[in-house]
Structure 1
Amino acid sequence: MADGVSPSSGPVHIKVYGRDARDTQLVSRLWKAIWYRGDARPAMTREQQVEHEGFVTMLAASRGIAVPKVLVAGMTEAGDALLAVSQRGTPIERSQDAPVESIWQLLRSLHRSDLAHGSLDLDSFALFGNEVLLTDLSTVSNSASRDQQLTDLAQAMVVTSLLVGIERATIIASEQLDSEEVVDLLAYIQLSALGRSLREDLKASGLGIEAVRSALAAVEGVEVPEIAQLRRVSVQSLVTVVLLLLVAGALIVTLGEVNLAELAAALRSASVAMALAAVVVGQTPFFTQAVATRGACPRPLAYGPVALLQMSIGFMALAVPSTAGRLALDIRFFQRQGIPAASAVSIAAIDGFSGFLVQISLLLITLVFGLGRVDLTWKTPDLGSSDDLTLLLIFAGVLLVIVAVLAAALPAIRNRVLRRVTPMLSEAKQTLRSLRSLSNLLQIFGGNLGNQLLFALTLGICLRAFGGSLNLATLLVVYVAAALFGGLMPVPGGIGVMEAALMTGLIAAGVDSTTAAGTALLFRLVTFYLPPIWGWVALRWLQRHSYL
């Protein structure tokens, strides 16, 4: 870039895109297009880039937006792309008198023309006499989305805060935007919305992005919302992909040991009587879970409707395979019993956490004390090596502790977790005060213990249907380990994950691969895929009788 003087046009700003500069910009834009949502697609050639910049600059000028005048746009004989515009004015100095109102008005005019800048910073605006110019339109997108426009507003909010300070900038922003726009904008004021230059200026100034958000929310008198997801790829999504790849790998390895012809023969020869017994016993955990739920509730509830609620949750687990579906059902049910929604959430949390404690306790007691002489060594025939399952579990536990410590050490993650958990803990404390009676505690932990034992018994009956057998302690280890693993995986309902985990556990316990595969499939059929049938009937009954 260079500045010069034209005999006919006066001061001129010249921008030249050589091969190296263009390649650098192409890589940068490709990275943004992959990493961030709604970012502009990268131009493919230098000529297209200057043509685009020249076009949007002239388009903005035709809409009455203050921008430099395009003088020349094209290619030189050397193959470089060149854009020349009239003088762009002088930089805006940081002071209380900086014309930030004009910046907002300029940006609103840009958006009314269906354009979005995408990379505003302190160098994007300049003074030309008493007028504020938008100096660089190389990153402008036409047919801009609402996300892109809100990102512009977030960048302008930070720019104006740097120019005049947070207090005055937020007051002016509140005057320039209506209440709905401010609420939408608050979700976009985040570091991910800022370009590198603006992030560096913000860091150098000592201002914090959270301070800008909080100040604007305070001026408008609204709560600070959750930030919008601007990145296409986040740490959470990367972890999810890695976990799914691990699960897929486990499935491939496990299923690779299964002869499909032998599995089909095993399914045909399975004991029908044992399969029917597994169907019956596989539904009994609903009734023990109902006991635990009644124990977690601070008010007395009729047992029958609570048991039907658990069956209904079996339907929701398949129809709406997410925690949200079960939570919505719980809240609606308890509200009908005169219990506030917040307390209903804490009831579900207490019930779930107590179940987790029971699972961990059973696993540790069985592994540490060796009840039932559980064989924890799984030999992998292909590799000729062996892995100690106990060491694997210890390693997983240590890894979880390390992740938790790192999350607690990072302020952004810690604050996000605290914002979500603190209200729930408050409600949970109030609910726990009503659970001091021995009767409630026995119902909670006794119901969850019965739940695990009945699932393990069902697994044993399924194994018996294929001619195999294991002691109850081994079955508990296999089921609980599979349930915990399935709960950690980001797969709705544990579909595929639980089957692989159960097969892996059974093979580790000495069951042949064909029998393990048949047992896992039958167990999941009677405990997950069939229960939605009578779960739907239970749901309809609860609705007809005004329990939901």
Structure 2
Amino acid sequence: MTSERLAVTPTRRHAYWQLALTFAVLAAVGALARRHWPVLETGAVRLAVADQGWLLVAATAAAATWACSALAQQGAVLRPLPPGRLVAAQFAATAANQLLPAGLGTGAVNLRFLMRCGISAGRSATALAVKATAGGLSRAALIAVLATAWPGVLRLPRPGAGWPALVGAAAVLAVLLTAARRPRCRTALALVLADIKAIHARPHRAAALWGGSLGFAVLHALVLIAVTRAVALPLALPLVALIYFAASSAAALLPTPGGLGSLDAALALALTAGGASGAAAASAVLGYRLLTVWLPLIPGLLVLAVLVRRKAL
């Protein structure tokens, strides 16, 4: 009886911390919403009378992102994974990601899932690194393609305005080079490179990794594009796609749960800079967040609980 109580206590304590973090996030969101309430109210009204057909397209694209995420995760490992549980884990990971910063929720769920599938902790962590790398490179490639195919879409900054970005990139590069000099980091990097070679030795695994990663990014951009069309936002499709890829890449550098606040601000600022009014940008961001975060949140947490109960996580 005593051992059972000792086993339950850490779990309850972890649940209390998660609940406290959730309330803290909600409080922060509430403070931001109160500060910008007039713009948000106008945007919500505009979203309420939006084109239902385009919203349906956006909802369909949002649902398909979990299948692409599962495909990319399967491509990052050599061992076959159970398809149904894999998709369910991606859906649950999306909900968990809203509670922990910097993608820790998604990483924790996927790491636990891969270990439950019989993959060692080291290989599971390497698979997550491979998937994250493929996702980042996919967004960079899509930005390059859009900027090349539609040169007018990419607005170059004023002279001197790009210095903060260059300094930030140099700082990140310096950190990576410093970390690469450490023995443990070199060992981890060697494992990642070895797994990448093994994956690309099997064309079907490489196709799943890159196809799922590209599909995931494209579908999220399609969600934002469909929402902008639903609220009659007069922006070119390539511009909206480029706005999403650039904003999501920038928001990934800020450790907020699910990009809460960082991605919203980046999208709103980019849409406004692209020519949208403040209310129109707010309605587009609200619609995107509603379909990709808030509506799937409760079902995702329920799926997470079911997977934990069935010991799939």
Could you tell me the TM-score, scaled by structure 2's length?
Answer: 0.78
2:127 aligned to which of 320, 343, 347:
347
For 2:41 and 2:139, locate their aligned partners in 1 and report how far apart those are by CA, in whole Å: 36
Q: How far is 1:511 from its partner?
A: 2.0
RMSD: 3.0
For 1:430 and 1:525, locate their aligned partners in 2 and report how far apart those are by CA, in whole Å: 40
1:403 aligned to which of 157, 168, 171:
171
Q: How far is 1:404 from its partner?
A: 4.2
Query: Who is 2:196 aligned against?
Result: 432
User: Is the counterpart of residue 364 in structure 1 residue 144 in structure 2?
Assistant: yes
Query: Who is 2:46 aligned against?
Result: 266
For 2:91 and 2:100, locate their aligned partners in 1 and report how far apart those are by CA, in whole Å: 14
Q: How far is 1:365 from its partner?
A: 2.3
User: Is the counterpart of residue 336 in structure 1 residue 133 in structure 2?
Assistant: no
For 1:543 and 1:508, locate their aligned partners in 2 and report how far apart those are by CA, in whole Å: 44
| 8 Å Cα contact 1:316/1:326 also seen in 2 | yes
User: Is the counterpart of residue 316 in structure 1 residue 96 in structure 2?
Assistant: yes
Summarize the Cα distance change of 1:265–1:316 in structure 2 as closer, same or farther, 3 Å threshold.
closer
Alignment of 1:138-149 (within 5 A): none
For 2:41 and 2:249, locate their aligned partners in 1 and report how far apart those are by CA, in whole Å: 31
For 1:524 and 1:417, locate their aligned partners in 2 and report how far apart those are by CA, in whole Å: 40
Greater RCO, 1 or 2 (C-alpha within 8 Å, sep 6+): 2
Greater percentage in helix: 2
User: Is the counterpart of residue 376 in structure 1 residue 181 in structure 2?
Assistant: no
1:421 aligned to which of 168, 174, 185:
185
For 1:354 and 1:291, locate their aligned partners in 2 and report how far apart those are by CA, in whole Å: 12
Q: How far is 1:342 from its partner?
A: 0.4
User: Is the counterpart of residue 275 in structure 1 residue 55 in structure 2?
Assistant: yes
Q: How far is 1:491 from its partner?
A: 2.2
Extract unaligned runs of 5+ from structure 1.
1-250, 378-386
Q: How far is 1:540 from its partner?
A: 3.4
User: Is the counterpart of residue 298 in structure 1 residue 78 in structure 2?
Assistant: yes
For 2:300 and 2:191, locate their aligned partners in 1 and report how far apart those are by CA, in whole Å: 29
Q: Residue type matched to 1:320 in 2?
A: L
Query: Who is 2:239 aligned against?
Result: 474
Alignment of 1:76-91 (within 5 A): none
For 2:100 and 2:40, locate their aligned partners in 1 and report how far apart those are by CA, in whole Å: 31
Task: Describe the SS at the equivalent of 1:338.
Answer: coil
User: Is the counterpart of residue 284 in structure 1 residue 48 in structure 2?
Assistant: no
Q: Residue type matched to 1:286 in 2?
A: W
Query: Who is 1:97 aligned against?
Result: none
Query: Who is 1:526 aligned against?
Result: 291
For 1:519 and 1:259, locate their aligned partners in 2 and report how far apart those are by CA, in whole Å: 12
| 8 Å Cα contact 2:227/2:288 also seen in 1 | yes
Summarize the Cα distance change of 1:291–1:510 in structure 2 as closer, same or farther, 3 Å threshold.
same
Q: Residue type matched to 1:487 in 2?
A: A
Query: Who is 2:106 aligned against?
Result: 326
Q: Residue type matched to 1:403 in 2?
A: A
For 1:470 and 1:457, locate their aligned partners in 2 and report how far apart those are by CA, in whole Å: 13
2:261 aligned to which of 479, 491, 496:
496
| 8 Å Cα contact 1:263/1:514 also seen in 2 | yes
Q: How far is 1:544 from its partner?
A: 4.5
1:452 aligned to which of 191, 212, 217:
217
Q: How far is 1:403 from its partner?
A: 1.5
| 8 Å Cα contact 1:266/1:466 also seen in 2 | yes
Higher mean C-alpha deviation, range 447-456 or range 431-440: 431-440
Task: Describe the SS at the equivalent of 1:422.
Answer: helix
Query: Who is 2:281 aligned against?
Result: 516
Q: Residue type matched to 2:150 in 1?
A: L
| 8 Å Cα contact 1:363/1:481 also seen in 2 | yes
Larger radius of gyration: 1
Task: Describe the SS at the equivalent of 2:80.
Answer: coil
Summarize the Cα distance change of 1:276–1:366 in structure 2 as closer, same or farther, 3 Å threshold.
closer
Q: How far is 1:501 from its partner?
A: 0.8
Q: How far is 1:429 from its partner?
A: 3.3
Query: Who is 2:19 aligned against?
Result: none
Extract unaligned runs of 5+ from structure 2.
1-31
Q: How far is 1:537 from its partner?
A: 3.2
Summarize the Cα distance change of 1:374–1:262 in structure 2 as closer, same or farther, 3 Å threshold.
same
Alignment of 1:102-117 (within 5 A): none
Q: How far is 1:417 from its partner?
A: 7.1
| 8 Å Cα contact 2:40/2:283 also seen in 1 | no
Task: Describe the SS at the equivalent of 1:547.
Answer: coil
Task: Tell me the matched-pair count.
Answer: 280
For 1:489 and 1:402, locate their aligned partners in 2 and report how far apart those are by CA, in whole Å: 17
Query: Who is 1:507 aligned against?
Result: 272
Task: Describe the SS at the equivalent of 1:485.
Answer: helix
| 8 Å Cα contact 1:376/1:509 also seen in 2 | no
Summarize the Cα distance change of 1:408–1:371 in structure 2 as closer, same or farther, 3 Å threshold.
closer
| 8 Å Cα contact 1:375/1:509 also seen in 2 | no
Q: Residue type matched to 2:65 in 1?
A: P
For 2:59 and 2:234, locate their aligned partners in 1 and report how far apart those are by CA, in whole Å: 18
1:542 aligned to which of 296, 301, 307:
307
For 1:320 and 1:259, locate their aligned partners in 2 and report how far apart those are by CA, in whole Å: 28
| 8 Å Cα contact 1:294/1:300 also seen in 2 | yes
| 8 Å Cα contact 2:71/2:208 also seen in 1 | yes
Summarize the Cα distance change of 1:391–1:290 in structure 2 as closer, same or farther, 3 Å threshold.
farther
Q: How far is 1:424 from its partner?
A: 2.1
Per-residue CA deviations over 1:86-143 (Å, capped at 9, x if unaligned) read xxxxxxxxxxxxxxxxxxxxxxxxxxxxxxxxxxxxxxxxxxxxxxxxxxxxxxxxxx
For 1:479 and 1:315, locate their aligned partners in 2 and report how far apart those are by CA, in whole Å: 21
For 2:125 and 2:58, locate their aligned partners in 1 and report how far apart those are by CA, in whole Å: 32
For 1:404 and 1:536, locate their aligned partners in 2 and report how far apart those are by CA, in whole Å: 34
